[in-house]
Structure 1
Amino acid sequence: MKRLAATVATIAATTGLALATAAGAAAAPSGAGPADQTLNKLRADGYNVIISRTGTGAIDQCTVTEVRPGQTYSRTDSGVPGHLLGTPGPNIATTVTNKTALVTLAC
């Protein structure tokens, strides 16, 4: 029974991480638009932004051609009060500690 509870806990934690990553990717703006606005929005949403660009123009003259989700780092802790997975079962909480967006610009 303990093995079953541990397996269920692992599956639930992995599913939660996958959903958190998908939600973060969906929150990132996409499509063509002013570069400075998009970069500021991503940074305000907590993303570390990595920029790849073609051309030598200033940022305010660039347009966003692509936004892709980058690496997301998270940590899973057990024994967290208030995060009951099941009865009986471990208390598990997954926290996103860092997320990255890859932005391509045309200048």
Structure 2
Amino acid sequence: MKKFTIATAAASGLAAAVLGLAAPAVAAPSSGGNAADTISALEAQGNRVIVNRLSDTPLSQATVVGINPGADIRSTVRDADNDTFYQHVITGKVYYIDVR
């Protein structure tokens, strides 16, 4: 019985550690906003942004007309104690943005 209790506690602790590493879900911004601000916000969240320019307008004056999410970006991360590695954790996303 004592071994079962220890195993259960260890499993619970490991599950909590993995869930603690999970990145909070962030909704993708909608189209219609300022292109430069949208790109900066997405990159600050760890995402990669690929811009499709539909005009010669500078990004500071351009408007986002479409956002399409792409593949997840996966990385290897360490836990808080730096003693365990978790592979293939989603750390960001690729976004394809159309600006005009």
Superposition RMSD in Å = 3.7
- The reply on whether 1:51 has 2:50 as its aligned counterpart is yes
Q: Which has the larger radius of gyration?
A: 2
Q: Which residue among 5, 12, 18 is the counterpart of 1:8? A: 12
Distance 1:56 1:48, change over 3 A: same
Report 1 or 2 for greater relative contact order, CA contacts < 8 Å, sequence distance ≥ 6: 1
How has the CA–CA distance of structure 1 residues 30 and 68 changed in structure 2, closer, same or farther, with 3 Å as cutoff? Answer: same
5+ unaligned residues in a row in structure 1: which ranges? 81-90
2:97 alignment counterpart: 104
**CA–CA separation in structure 1 for the residues paired with 2:19 and 2:98:** 33
Greater per-residue helix proportion: 1
Count of residues paired in the alignment: 88
Q: 1:77 & 1:15 partners in 2: Cα distance?
A: 11
Scaled by the length of structure 2, the TM-score of the pair is 0.54
DSSP-derived class of the 1:47 partner? coil
Would you say 1:39 and 2:43 are equivalent positions?
no
Match status 1:73 vs 2:75: yes
- Sort the Cα spacing of 1:31 and 1:50 in 2 relative to 1 into closer, same or farther, 3 A: same
Letter paired with 2:55: G
Identity of aligned residues (%): 22
Conserved? CA contact 1:65–1:105, under 8 Å: yes
Whole-angstrom distance in 1 between the partners of 2:67 and 2:51: 10
Query: C-alpha distance in 2, partners of 1:13/1:64?
Result: 39
Provide Cα deviations, 1:14-57, integer angstroms capped at 9, x if missing partner.
Answer: 22133x242xx24xx511212112112333x252422153x542
TM-score when normalising by structure 1: 0.52
Residue of structure 2 equivalent to 1:85 = none
Task: After superposition, give the CA deviation of every residue in 1:58-89 in whole Å (9 maximum; x if it has no partner).
Answer: 352341522648425352337x3xxxxxxxxx
Give the distance between the partners of 2:24 and 2:94, measured in 1 at CA: 11
